[in-house]
């Protein structure tokens, strides 16, 4: 049942029911795109309320859910230190040849401009630990996060304008010249390659993601789920075409970094 495709009308009904009772603190408008992401990952859409949230117009995965995924996939986290000033942990996974050690200090948070925020003032140890978990899991086994930032990371980002807008391409202008000059201009234009359109770019990036995942020993299925999650965000108008390209490039780069780590 968890892998059975639920179509949009039924998804909207589920989102309306879960949004109206406010059981998870999200509206039906917030629930629907998260359900699409969960379904793209092969899970029942209702799981979205347990694992995801919408923070400042962005989908975010809850830190407990990301850690649970990491451990369920065979990942191991060993805490070295957890205090109000420093958090350090070692992360290991079969797909990561060498363990990854990540440290976050209160000075790191100060440099990032985070310590003035309310959560950092009240719960510095928890916030430092959450940052260590997110960075360690992303470095050791990024497939667990599906290219999505954690709730704690997203809260610390700048608010975004979720209204989709399309950029207007520049208009090429060929000045009026003499006949011979005009022919030279036309011949140069014919020789220049056409700019890569959105569809071609995403197909190229998907191919590069699969190649990068294979080179670092990651499962092809993990790469496919991450690509589908990005597609679900686009379908739900959570991100624009430019956002899709950026996320796919980030996924590709994470696999490449995992290979060199």
Nearest to 202 by CA among 155, 241, 166: 241
Nearest to 31 by CA among 41, 19, 43, 17: 19
Pair 130, 152: CB distance under 8 Å: yes
| Confidence (pTM) | 0.55
Pair 104, 132: CB distance under 8 Å: yes
* H or E element, residue 55: strand 52-55
Q: Is the dihedral of CA 209, 215, 218, 219 positive or negative?
A: positive
pLDDT of residue 173: 44
Tell me the C-alpha distance between 47 and 53, whole Å.
11
DSSP strand E in 64-192: where? 76-82, 86-93, 96-105
pLDDT of residue 108: 93
DSSP 206-222: HHHHHHHHHHTT--HHH
Tell me the C-alpha distance between 204 and 215, whole Å.
17
How many other CB atoms are found less than 10 A from the CB of residue 246? 13
For the record, the structure tokens of 28 come out as 């039906």
For the record, the structure tokens of 185 come out as 């201009």
pLDDT along the chain (261 residues), means of 10: 70 83 77 83 80 81 90 95 97 94 95 90 94 93 86 78 51 48 54 69 88 86 81 72 87 84 62
């Amino acid at each position: 049942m968890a892998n059975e495709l639920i179509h949009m009308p039924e998804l909207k009904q589920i989102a309306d029911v879960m949004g109206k009772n406010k059981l998870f603190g999200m509206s039906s408008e917030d629930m629907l795109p998260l359900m699409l992401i969960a379904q793209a990952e092969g899970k029942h859409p209702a799981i979205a309320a347990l694992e995801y949230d919408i923070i400042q117009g962005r989908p975010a995965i809850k830190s407990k859910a990301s850690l649970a995924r990491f451990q369920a996939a065979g990942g191991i986290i060993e805490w070295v230190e957890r205090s109000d000033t420093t958090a350090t942990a070692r992360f290991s996974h079969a797909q990561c040849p060498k363990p990854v050690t990540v440290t976050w200090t209160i000075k790191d948070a100060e440099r990032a401009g985070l310590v003035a925020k309310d959560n950092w003032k009240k719960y510095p140890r928890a916030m430092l630990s959450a940052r260590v978990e997110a960075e360690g899991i992303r470095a050791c086994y990024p497939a667990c996060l599906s290219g999505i930032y954690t709730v704690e990371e997203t809260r610390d980002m700048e608010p975004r304008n979720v209204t989709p807008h399309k950029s207007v391409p520049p208009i090429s202008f060929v000045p009026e010249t003499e006949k011979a000059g005009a022919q030279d201009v036309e011949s140069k234009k014919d020789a220049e390659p056409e700019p890569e359109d959105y569809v071609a770019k995403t197909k190229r990036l998907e191919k590069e993601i699969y190649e990068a995942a294979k080179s670092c020993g990651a499962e092809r299925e993990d790469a496919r789920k991450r690509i589908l999650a990005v597609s679900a965000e686009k379908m739900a108008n959570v991100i624009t075409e430019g956002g899709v390209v950026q996320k796919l490039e980030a996924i590709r780069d994470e696999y490449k970094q995992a290979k060199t780590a």
